[in-house]
Amino acid sequence: MGGIVLDPSSPHSEPRARFRREAPEDRRRQLGEATLRCVAKHGHAGVSVRQIAAEAGVSPGLITHHFGELEELIAYAFDLMSDRLLAAVNEAVEAAPQTPQARLDAFIESSFSPILMDRGVLGMWVVFWGLILHSPRMASAQRHEYSNYLDSVERLFTDLAGAEGFFVGDVRLAAVSFTALMDGLWLAWCLNPSAFRPEDGVEQARRWIEGLRRGLYA
């Protein structure tokens, strides 16, 4: 649960070993990362206290200590993964030229980048999707993740409409519709990468945005 570090402030010629216990949030994150690795390696079979503890190199009791029950750890791992993916997209948006069009374009292009267009990510999502149907804690985590994603899309649409002077009747519904398109294209590619190229997905998303400008959606 901790490690031995050398204390450079020791007056002795040989450094003195000092025990440092890891912060609880650091340990929680380590367990969450181990959970993601287990799911990636073993699918549904990886969702067990024994597998995760072995992957993390800790005792099963440590999972109980930090999370209480397995369901809480799985939801925490799901949050780590979804937050990481959304952060990658948002970082691309922030790095783009700060105009509404450039930011939206960066959002679209990053959504079809290798970070997200990964069949391994789909395998993990399938496991989590299955758990959402039977776990109130997982369902709550998914609602939070989905809401954050919609918030990002909604802000991009609102900024674009304001800058270009077009009207969107229901921005939230438009965000839901656009997200469904993006999710559908992502899923189709992950299931069959020969169906279309990622750049084709980018073009389809851009065409959808053109329809939004013309008042075809929401």
* pLDDT, tens digit (0-9, with 9 covering 90-100), for 147-165: 999 999 999 999 999 999 9
Q: What distance in Å separates the CA atoms of residue 93 and residue 153, rounded to the nearest whole number?
A: 11
**pLDDT tens digits along 179-199:** 999 999 999 999 999 999 999
Asked if residues 218 and 168 have their Cβ atoms less than 8 Å apart, the reply is yes
Q: What pLDDT, in 10s, does the model give residues 102-131?
A: 999 999 999 999 989 998 899 999 999 999
The whole-number average pLDDT for the span 90-105 is 96
Structure tokens at 28: 């929680």
Q: How large is the average pLDDT for residues 14-24?
A: 53
Which CATH number is correct for 72-218, 1.20.1250.20, 1.10.240.10, 1.10.10.10, 1.10.357.10? 1.10.357.10
pLDDT confidence of residue 17:
39
Predicted confidence (pLDDT) at residue 19 exceeds the cutoff of 50: no
Rounded to two decimals, the pTM is 0.82
| Segment 65-70 mean pLDDT | 92
Q: What is the pLDDT of residue 87?
A: 92
CATH 1.10.357.10 domain locations along the chain: 72-218
Domain with CATH 1.10.10.60 in the chain: 1-68
Q: 88, 157 in Cβ contact below 8 A?
A: no
CATH superfamily of 1-68: Homeodomain-like (1.10.10.60)
| Average pLDDT of span 133-137 | 90
Give the residue from 114, 151, 131 showing the smallest Cα distance to 46. 131
Question: Which pLDDT does position 21 carry in this prediction?
Answer: 56
How far apart CA 40 and CA 139 sit, in angstroms, is 20
Residue 45: band (very low, low, confident or very high) from pLDDT cuts 50, 70, 90: confident
